[in-house]
């Protein structure tokens, strides 16, 4: 089928979509379809944020912009790198972040619940201290600081590379006074602090899922993905310790992706509250401080050797 020469941004989005589709790329790093990724790519080149692009669809891109669009499409197709790495840009909870291959591309559905401030499970005005474990790019910590403007946020990661990227984002969002970065293997570097809210998107990919990852995911740091045979090695360590770091009325929220089935099966007595996203995803769970304390022995007994 022949198409008329592209002229407007709409035309160039469709042109980009067709090229991405023909290349049989994998989407999932901030977009789910070729059309969504095409809109993001064209919008980035022409200086329009995702929520601003629709008002400019009839615009005519410049020759320089067209050259950049073609170059990005070529790079996306030939390298199979996530578009976020090519743009050094990702969006999470309505916020823009710098990213590169030192960190995962932000895509956690936890952003939905952060924007809702975890109501009704928390009274937002009572959240004084929050913790983001395995912060990566810092996106969750920064989104927490934006959603809870009175809250101090600690953000930990074991990776110096990840902390360097998180620092860039904290500076860009003007949150250096409220978001503290801590190099730490989970809770080890935190001392005796207690938090009203702990949020984590830890490594949770099982051995089988790691072997089957599409090419795009192989550009991401393995340290931030792999979590043992069943994808539970990291989350079980966190669960075994989390009660000691929560205030009595605090809550713990974690995303575990495809490993949610294995987690529920491993701990059938634990009353995980699985939160359902707008898209029907139910890989995020919530536990209270009291529930974590009640089942601490079960979690400790399941720690990997």
Residues 6+ apart with CB under 8 A from 47: none
Tracing tokens 């920064």 back to the chain, one arrives at 142
Number of H-type helices and E-type strands within the chain: 12, 9
Q: What is the pLDDT of residue 114?
A: 96
| 243 token code pair | 């009660």
pTM for the full predicted model: 0.94
CB atoms within 10 A of CB 72: 18
Domain ranges of the chain: 9-87, 98-301
Q: What is the pLDDT of residue 3?
A: 64
| 14 token code pair | 């469709």
Q: What is the pLDDT of residue 4?
A: 64
CATH class of 98-301: alpha beta
DSSP structure string for 26-58: ---SS-SSHHHHHHHHHHHHTT--TTTGGGGTT
Q: What is the pLDDT of residue 1?
A: 55
Q: What is the pLDDT of residue 279?
A: 73
Q: What is the CA radius of gyration of the chain?
A: 20
Instruction: Give which of 4, 28, 29, 30 is closest to 18, Cα–Cα.
Output: 4
Per-residue pLDDT of the chain (305 residues; tens, 9 = 90+): 566 678 999 999 999 999 999 999 999 998 999 999 999 999 999 999 988 999 999 999 999 999 999 999 999 999 999 999 999 999 999 999 999 999 999 988 999 999 999 999 999 999 999 999 999 999 999 999 999 999 999 999 999 999 999 999 999 999 999 999 999 999 999 988 899 999 999 999 999 999 999 999 999 999 999 999 999 999 999 999 999 999 999 999 999 999 999 999 999 999 999 998 777 778 999 999 999 999 999 999 999 87
Instruction: Give which of 185, 191, 95 is closest to 134, Cα–Cα.
Output: 185
- Identify the CATH number of the domain defined by range 9-87: 1.10.8
């Amino acid at each position: 089928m022949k198409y008329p020469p592209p002229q407007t941004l709409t035309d160039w989005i469709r042109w980009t979509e067709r090229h991405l589709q023909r290349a049989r790329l994998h989407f999932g790093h901030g977009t789910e379809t070729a059309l969504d990724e095409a809109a993001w790519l064209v919008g980035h080149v022409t200086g329009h944020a995702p929520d601003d692009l629709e008002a400019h669809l009839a615009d005519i891109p410049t020759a320089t912009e067209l050259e950049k669009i073609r170059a990005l499409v070529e790079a996306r197709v030939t390298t199979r790198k996530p578009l976020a790495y090519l743009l050094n840009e990702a969006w999470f909870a309505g916020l823009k972040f710098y990213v590169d291959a030192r960190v995962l591309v932000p895509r956690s559905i936890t952003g939905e619940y952060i924007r809702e401030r975890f109501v009704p499970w928390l009274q937002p005005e009572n959240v004084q201290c929050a913790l983001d474990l395995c912060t990566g790019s810092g996106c969750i910590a920064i989104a927490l600081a934006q959603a809870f403007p009175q809250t101090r946020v600690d953000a930990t990661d074991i990776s110096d590379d990840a902390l360097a990227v998180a620092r860039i984002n904290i500076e860009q969002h003007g949150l250096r006074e409220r978001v503290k970065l801590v190099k730490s293997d989970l809770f080890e570097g935190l001392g005796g602090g207690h938090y009203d809210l702990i949020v984590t998107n830890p490594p949770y990919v099982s051995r089988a899922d790691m072997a089957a990852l599409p090419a795009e995911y192989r550009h991401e740091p393995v340290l931030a993905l792999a979590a043992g045979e069943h994808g539970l090695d990291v989350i079980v360590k966190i669960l075994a310790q989390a009660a000691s770091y929560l205030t009595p009325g605090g809550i713990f929220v974690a995303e575990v992706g495809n490993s949610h089935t294995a987690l529920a099966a491993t701990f059938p007595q634990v009353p995980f509250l699985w939160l359902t996203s707008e898209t029907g995803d139910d890989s995020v769970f919530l536990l209270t401080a009291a529930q974590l304390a009640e089942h601490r022995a079960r979690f400790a007994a399941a720690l990997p050797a």
